[in-house]
Copies of this chain bind each other. A is one copy, B any other.
Amino acid sequence: MKKFVNDPKNFVPEMLRGLALANPDTLAYVPAYNLIMRKDAPSQNKVSIIQGSGSGHEPAHVMAVGRGMLDGSCPGDVFAAPPVDYIYEATKLLATDKGVLYIVNNYTGDRLAFDMAKELAEAEGIRVATVMVDDDVAVKDSLYTIGRRGVAGNFFVIKALGAAAERGDDLDSLVALGQRVNSVTRTMGIALSSCTPPSKGVPLFDMADGEMEVGIGIHGEPGRSREAVRTASEIVSMLVEAVASDLPFASGDRVGVMINGLGGTPVSELYLLYGLAHDELEKRGITVGRNYIGEYCTSLEMAGASLTLIKLDDEIETLLAAPAEVPIRVF
């Protein structure tokens, strides 16, 4: 196992503690609930936004906590939904008069946990609403999901809702906006390797050198097909076709493009993919308005990448361009 880890049972808490120590002015860490929250939250003038999900997808979602993004994130263990009480306690800590919004990637375990926490919180008089994210076009119904999976495109939902919450939008407006952003966002990924959860100690699934999984899930769930690795150009063409034909994105559209690394693929390859995606979109008459290249939603150290397209309009573009402060700093 090629990992920096102490006792695998402490992998998540030790990571969260490091994250909080690195951001002492902006983030608070509540170990009892794996909760990373804004130090200045809750603010009574705004809806608080929480996203949970399993760990192992960092920077999603604990490193997306900050002004203009999430107010808190309470992940479960690696690839495991957060326990109900983590979400319930996080909700109480972050509750405001304007309410609490959950952003939930569409996995059955996550949905169940967030639904139960919502009921518990509402019983205490807290207003709660949920926005589901299901941007992955690869497959319908999967290992842990009924319907489509939520993957890297959720960063666009987080960013747009975070900015809208900051300007004071109410809970109902945020739900409508979140659904609208999700409805114009599509993703598909390709894996070149498996990954190893720390407490499992062996790869989650087998993948021979020279193979790729087309439409991989971010927990290693099967996608559309297992194939021989193709050239980068062929892969990008396949991803753009799958994503752009789904919405459908059409000539004249203006889009945001995300090339998301799955954890083990270096940034050099992500930029190479971006250049090819840019060409492929141009051929279709689609203009790139904004680009996002790097790691957003990973699967531990999996080699691979996903392509996300979001159809831009004036409101969405303004929200995506609004200032945000997240822990990940470059220089």
Assembled-state Cα–Cα distance A55/B274 (Å): 18
A326 within 8 Å of B (CB atoms): yes
Q: How many copies does the complex hold?
A: 2
If A155-B331, A292-B329 touch, whether A192 touches B274 (CB-CB below 8 Å) is: no
| B22 adjacent to A291 (CB under 8 Å) | yes
| A15 adjacent to B272 (CB under 8 Å) | yes
| A303 adjacent to B301 (CB under 8 Å) | yes
Residues of A147-187 contacting chain B, CB below 8 A: 155, 159
Residues on B with beta carbons closer than 8 Å to the beta carbon of A305: 4
A40 within 8 Å of B (CB atoms): no
Number of interface residues of A (CB under 8 A): 63
A223 within 8 Å of B (CB atoms): no
A30 within 8 Å of B (CB atoms): no
* A residues with CB within 8 A of B: 1-6, 11, 14-19, 21-22, 55-56, 58-59, 63-64, 69, 155, 159, 192-193, 209-210, 229, 231-233, 235, 263-269, 271-276, 278, 291-295, 298, 300-301, 303, 305, 324, 326, 328-331
CB-CB nearest 10 A-B residue pairs:
A18-B275, A18-B271, A2-B192, A58-B268, A18-B274, A263-B266, A4-B232, A2-B303, A4-B269, A15-B272
